[in-house]
Amino acid sequence: MDKNTSNTQEVEVRKGPWTMEEDLILINYIANHGEGVWNSLARSAGLKRTGKSCRLRWLNYLRPDVRRGNITPEEQLLIMELHARWGNRWSKIARHLPGRTDNEIKNYWRTRIQKQIKQAEPFANQNCTLAHDASTSHACGAKDEVDPYSPAYAMSNPEPFATPLPTESNDCFWSMEDLWFPQLFNGD
DNA sequence: AACCATTGCAACCGCAACATC
DNA sequence: AGATGTTGCGGTTGCAATGGT
């Protein structure tokens, strides 16, 4: 049974998690032809994916220079600083963290930092009438308090943000090193 | 051991900006 | 100048993995 074989067989588009085979096809194709117009790339490569999906997969996961997991304390600080400055401009923030993607930073922010902020909120926010969504509100009347988003806060309060860094979280079924094998680039 | 809740992350969706014709 | 296609972005969702009871 194929996943998305609807009765309209003009365009069957696969969705959901990428398989290793699809990854290899995409990597091979880009290695041989370079990036181009993603829609036609997807078609030419024989992938039953949208160009959008291919682009996302490539940028967030398959690119050789992409770094995943193990966000360092320095990077965390930088993220907090840049987020305090620009808000949710994830792609803008990502440009200042080589090898990191906007998606990863966004996820990291939401799952780690935002959580820490929420935990700290009852203490930092006692004078605030309304606890805004931590991702968007930086404005709190308590001017004397150190902005929990600021690097200064993180420096002086290592605990709240000292999330145990993921331990070797690069354990996928296959690593990028496995995929980026020289021999892959020969075939087409 | 089984069930339920929570967490973390990959991927999708909708929209806006931009490029090309 | 307008229509159409493509890209980039931010928000959101789905689901596997993990932890707790």
8 A C-beta contact, residue A80 and residue A96:
no
Looking at residue A119, what is its pLDDT? 65
Tell which residue, A56, A121, A59, A114, has the closest CA to residue A87.
A114
8 A C-beta contact, residue A78 and residue A92:
no
Looking at residue A70, what is its pLDDT? 80
Which one-letter DSSP state was computed for residue A183? G
Looking at residue A6, what is its pLDDT? 37
Taking only the tens place, the pLDDT of each residue in A159-184 is 333 333 333 333 334 455 555 554 45
Nearest DNA or RNA nucleotide to A42 (CA to C1'): C6
A37: alpha, beta or left, given left = phi > 0 and alpha = psi -120 to 50? Answer: beta
Taking only the tens place, the pLDDT of each residue in A45-70 is 988 899 999 999 999 999 888 888 88
Q: Which residue is nearest to the C1' sugar atom of B6, using CA?
A: A111
Looking at residue A11, what is its pLDDT? 59
- Distance CA(A120)–CA(A147), nearest Å, equals 11
Taking only the tens place, the pLDDT of each residue in A89-142 is 888 888 888 889 989 999 898 888 777 766 666 555 554 443 344 343 333 333
Strand C nucleotides within 7 Å of a protein CB? 5-12
Q: How would residue A25 be classed by pLDDT, with cut points 50, 70 and 90?
A: very high
**A89-CA/B16-C1' distance, Å:** 15
Looking at residue A99, what is its pLDDT? 87
pTM (2 d.p.): 0.69
Our CA angle for A32, A34, A36, nearest 5°, is: 135
Looking at residue A173, what is its pLDDT? 40
Strand B nucleotides within 7 Å of a protein CB? 7-14
Q: How would residue A35 be classed by pLDDT, with cut points 50, 70 and 90?
A: confident
**A56-CA/C1-C1' distance, Å:** 33
